Amino acid sequence: MNYYNEIKKELIDNEINKKIKDYSKNNYELIKYLTVGKLLNQAGKKYGEGVIEKYSKKLEYEVGKKYNKSTLFKIKKFYLVFSNQKVAPLVPQLCWSHCLILLPLKDINAINYYILQIVNRNLSKRQLIEIVKNNEYERLDENTKNKLKNHKEMILTDFVKNPIIIRNKNNYKNISEKILQKLILEDIEYFMKELGNGFSFIGSEYKIKIANTYNYIDLLLYNIKYHCYVVIELKVTDLNYNHTGQIQNYMNYIDKNIKDITDNDTVGIIICKKNNEYIIEYCSDSRIISRSYELV
């Protein structure tokens, strides 16, 4: 096989297609790059790694300057990574700019996670850069990562990151619960994405009456995907047993007085300065989770 001629033919075909089939050019381009990457890999095995430098010099002149040595190495790596059976089925739903962001990642499970986020959340290049930079996959707990790896059913709390990143745009030094709540409300959309997908905002300082006493839930959300209310309590101290008891009371109130018959049980999330898995492990209510926060 004349590898160079085959590679040149595929790349020229790709350039022509981009001009006449705009509606599907991203999909077509990635399929072509998978083919070219495979050919580059095979040629390298037969003729040595120097073949990419040799081919790039000719391709820059005969097809286009963008097909330089660096680009061909990326196309080859794209084939080696994205032909993996875990990610290949989702490749047609990506674009080349997405793939270039994911190529430096070494963990195939992380790549697979970010591809799913691109597809499920319709992420732009800029949005993908942001969640990769914020180590979104790395901040999932190990149980969630194992579920993703083994394609098991997920629950609402699986995608709540740890720590939860809260933007401190005004650089507050002394953080009280009120300040923490203020920071979240100023950037509520970002905060809800830290919790996962499908969240909608119900209210802050949500007023409820337990016995003869009025209480105020820091944040009340609703998750459309999982059909349940989510009670969020903010603590600027380390997690303790009083926190789990308080949020449990609030969750029970919502279940009894607010939720509809079609809703699932309310979930509780405690966001605190320092998490304590021991307290959560021995909490009597499995609907409650805790996460630490990190100000950036």
CB 268 within 8 A of CB 231: yes
What token pair was written down for 76? Answer: 């080859």
With a cut of 90, say whether residue 17 has pLDDT above it: no
Q: Which of 133, 160, 193 is the last residue of a domain?
A: 133
State the pLDDT at residue 24: 57
Q: How many angstroms separate the most distant Cα atoms in the chain? A: 84
Q: Between residues 93 and 192, which one has the greater pLDDT?
A: 192
Same domain, 208 and 254: yes
Domain range enclosing 54: 3-133
CB 217 within 8 A of CB 233: yes
pTM score of the predicted model: 0.86
CB 238 within 8 A of CB 272: yes
What token pair was written down for 153? Answer: 């059913």
Same domain, 67 and 167: no
Q: What does the angle CA 289 – CA 212 – CA 287 come to, to the nearest 5 degrees?
A: 15
Return the DSSP state at 261. Answer: T
Same domain, 158 and 285: yes
Report the C-alpha gap between 178 and 175 in whole angstroms. Answer: 8
With a cut of 50, say whether residue 23 has pLDDT above it: no
Report the C-alpha gap between 96 and 119 in whole angstroms. Answer: 14
With a cut of 90, say whether residue 276 has pLDDT above it: no
Within 10 angstroms of residue 219's Cβ, the number of other Cβ atoms is 23
Work out the mean pLDDT of the chain and round it to a whole number. 93
Q: What average pLDDT score do residues 41-62 get?
A: 93
Report the C-alpha gap between 159 and 265 in whole angstroms. Answer: 18
Q: Which of 85, 116, 133 is the last residue of a domain?
A: 133
Query: How many domains, the chain?
Result: 2
Residues contacting 287, CB < 8 A, separation 6+: 251, 265, 266, 267, 268
